[in-house]
Every structure is written in structure tokens, then in C-alpha cells.
Amino acid sequence: MKKIFIVLLNIFVCSSFLMASPFNQKLTDEEKIKLEKGEVLIRNIAYPKNICLNDNVSTLADQLLSKIDDLKPKYLAEVIQFKNYEGNEDLPQRLEELLNNIPSYAGIPYFSERKQKWYDLYSSATIVEKIEKENFSIIKADIEMEPFGIMNQEIELYNQEESILYSAKNTNKLRYHDKFDCVWPEKMSINILLFRDGDKWILYGIGGVNAPRIPFFIERIEVSFINRITTFCNFIFNKF
């Protein structure tokens, strides 16, 4: 009976995804079940060809996919979570408020896999300039992220019909312990998209780095950058 129940559950979950789903077949059955349970799903997908978000979901979703396409990342990860719409009707407003509060990014807990210790993801986060327009803002910020020092970040924040898009990129060169260059300007991107799908809100994070996949250094780069990207997205998602 247990096996029959599991099979029926898989069929139900998969069929629900096939009905005008914003996601494609890149999601496994196990990943779909995890999402339906409300859990945070992290997918280390390496390349844009493995993205599970469909085209034409919304204007902001297509804008996000275009940004990732322009980035041409060699390291890429997705972070996804479903939230019930009922009881969270004001989620776009709360998310926008949180993402606008740049100084609150300082102190986000980050676990170093290599050193097996907890650190601050960002030691400090300061707004340098903010330009606000109707349903759109640009924020320039200085983010201190050890061991890469100060990251000059340009953040775009869009608010459009029950949808929010946060898109951040580095505008300066990132150096490892100030010893060697590792990421060039505009080659690291962190993005969070919120949109409604029926009776659910979907939080979709994607971030990547356009850096060489050098033998013996691939794992180190993935750990250094992809874990930081997923840590930020996961932290934001768990605030709601």
C-alpha cells in the first residue's frame, strides 16, 4: 500500500505541474514533491540550458532570463520555494521592503563548507545612491564580502502587477584576499523573482558567475560563489 501511495502521489504532483506550469521538465519528480510541500529547493545547474523556469511566464520572468542569457554564466544555481497566496496577500510589498533594506543584509549567516565554520555572508552593506522611478528603482551599494573585500553592487528592483524582480550585479573587479583577480565587473549576478501562480506565490532565485571553469579550481569557485548566492536567496525566502 505504501508503494501504491507513493506512485499515486508522484502522478498527482507531476500532473499538476503539467497543467500550465511555469516550470519545465528539467525538474525531477522528487524536486516537484519537495516544492509542493513548501520546502526550499536548491539546484546547482552549472549552465543556463538547465534552467527549469519556462519562457513567457511573465514580462519580468522573461527579463530575468534575458539577464542570465547575457551573463553567460559558467556556474549557476536556482533556489525555489512555493508560498500559499492565502494569508500572504501582501507578500510583494513585504518582499520589496526587505530587499530595499540594504543595510539589513549585513550579518546574514553563511556556513563555509571548506572551513566548516559560520561567518557573516556580508560584513557590511551600505547604500551609496538610490534612484527611484515609478515601479522601478536602482540602488548602488557597497557590500563587504570576505575574502573578496568591497563589492560595488548595482541593484535593480522592479514592481509590476503582483510581481517583484530583484537583480544585482557587481560593478567592480573582485579579488581573492587582494592577491589575485577572480571575477570581472558585471560577471556575478544574484536575482530574485516573485510571481503569483494560482493559489500560490512562487519565489524563484537564480544567480551565477561568469568565471573560467579551470581544472582543480572548479569546486573551489562553486563553493566560494554559488554557496554565497544560494545562501542569500535562502535567507530572503525564509523571512516569509
Sign for the pseudo-dihedral over CA of 52, 91, 124, 127? positive
Q: What is the pLDDT of residue 166?
A: 98
Domains of the chain, residue spans: 38-237
Nearby residues of 131 by Cβ (< 8 Å), 6 or more positions away? 137, 138, 139
Distance in angstroms (rounded) separating the CA atoms of residues 131 and 121: 26
29-36 vs 2-18: helix axis angle to the nearest 10?
A: 90
Q: What is the pLDDT of residue 211?
A: 83
Q: What is the pLDDT of residue 134?
A: 86
Q: What is the pTM of this model?
A: 0.89
Cell 500550465 maps to which residue? Answer: 20
3-state SS assignment for residue 38: coil
Strands 109-112 and 75-84 come out as unpaired
The CATH class for the domain spanning 38-237 reads alpha beta
Alpha helices in the chain (DSSP H): 2-18, 29-36, 59-71, 91-100, 218-221, 227-237
186 within 8 A of 203, measured Cβ to Cβ = no
Cα–Cα distance list, 39 to 23, 81, 148, 202, 226 (Å)? 16, 6, 31, 12, 19
Strands (E) across the chain are located at 41-44, 75-84, 109-112, 117-120, 124-133, 136-144, 150-159, 164-170, 174-176, 180-183, 188-197, 200-209
Q: What is the pLDDT of residue 216?
A: 59
Q: Going from the first residue of the chain to its last (240 residues), give the mean pLDDT of each consecutive group of 10, the final group possibly shorter.
A: 49 50 94 96 95 96 97 96 97 97 96 88 97 94 93 97 95 87 93 97 97 68 84 95
Q: What is the pLDDT of residue 56?
A: 93
Q: What is the pLDDT of residue 20?
A: 63
CA 2 from centroid of its chain's CA atoms: 36
